[in-house]
Structure 1
Amino acid sequence: MDCVKIGKLIAKLRKEKKLTQKNIADALGIQNKTVSKWECGLGCPDLSLWPELSAIFDIDIKQMMEGEITPNKPDGGNIDKIRFYVCPSCGNILFSTGSASIFCCGRKLERILPTDTNNAPKITVEEIETDYFVTFDHPMTKEHYISFVAYVKSDKVFFYRLYPEQSPTCRFPIITGGKLYVYCIKHGLLVYSNNLF
């Protein structure tokens, strides 16, 4: 570990949070001299303090230990590059429109890649007033259900979370030419072609 780099990062993060060395020391149950030594590069935090430091600064532990925060590249806003992520621990669903480091429950999440649509549930699309009404032929049991549906077009994402034993239906505004993304916990991420809409 590079104590000088880590110390500079701790000082920078502390100032960003508008905290004093005493605030950090009190939160960690240590003396403020210790925080001062870290910031001067004369030592590194004890291993047992890293999780609390990470929580105080809202920063990934690994990046803190490396002494530098790797920023994400600016999002170009290209909705065609949408990426979906599902946390294996809590089931949270996240998405980005470009490459990003996405974390949940302390883990870095990997992007879900679309799978073969041979096992895709059949869908029925009806136009009702100003919406598409989409129905999936899916059992929606606790062991096998659709977790989310997203309709993506231009600069918009219409997102629906679904749950076991819920009716497998959703509604989207009529916007032609979009892509429909469906995530089944058993079959993965499925993408339906534009000719359905």
Structure 2
Amino acid sequence: MPLPFLTADRAFDTTDAVALPFDDHDQWRRPYRPGPYRVGAAALALLLASFVLLAAVIIVAAGSFGGGIATFAFAVLIILASLRLLRMGTWVSRAGVRRIGFFVTTTTPWAKVGSVRTAQQPVRWLNFPRTVQGQALVLDRAAGERLLLLTDHNADFLSRSEAFDRAADTVEAWHAEYGVRR
């Protein structure tokens, strides 16, 4: 069963200098592969969910139907959380750029994007409160607001600086193609 939110297109594995390698630019795409920390955390959550599901079966077999249903619901919440964790990140299409967080999704049409640039600044390390000096892909909206799209110290790009550079260049290429020409 293919999981489209897990894979990036094969075009990012090649050395071709194609800026927008997708055939269908109307579909939302993540221009990079999820990092090992994000995939590892989701795998551990799914492993925990399998144990919770086993516990739900044992609880139902022991005769406590209500407790089994509650345990099953908890396992479903863990599975949904791990899928959302895998879906998090920056997605692009002809319509704009979308930043998917765990609880909040922000979509900005290309017409409202002022600039997309890479900046050296303090960034959060694996989304913990601790900050370190790093690179961030910053989206400046036309209204003057700033949105952090990617950092080189998040779960997708920690210790993968080449992947961060490639993803930042790809998002900038999408902005150059579909952003407002000034």
Same fold (TM over 0.5): no
**TM bucket, shorter chain:** under 0.3
For the pair shown, the structure with the greater C-alpha radius of gyration is 1
TM-score for the superposition, normalised by structure 2? 0.26
Structure (1/2) with the larger helix percentage: 2
RCO greater where, 1 or 2, for CA within 8 Å and sep 6 or more?
A: 2
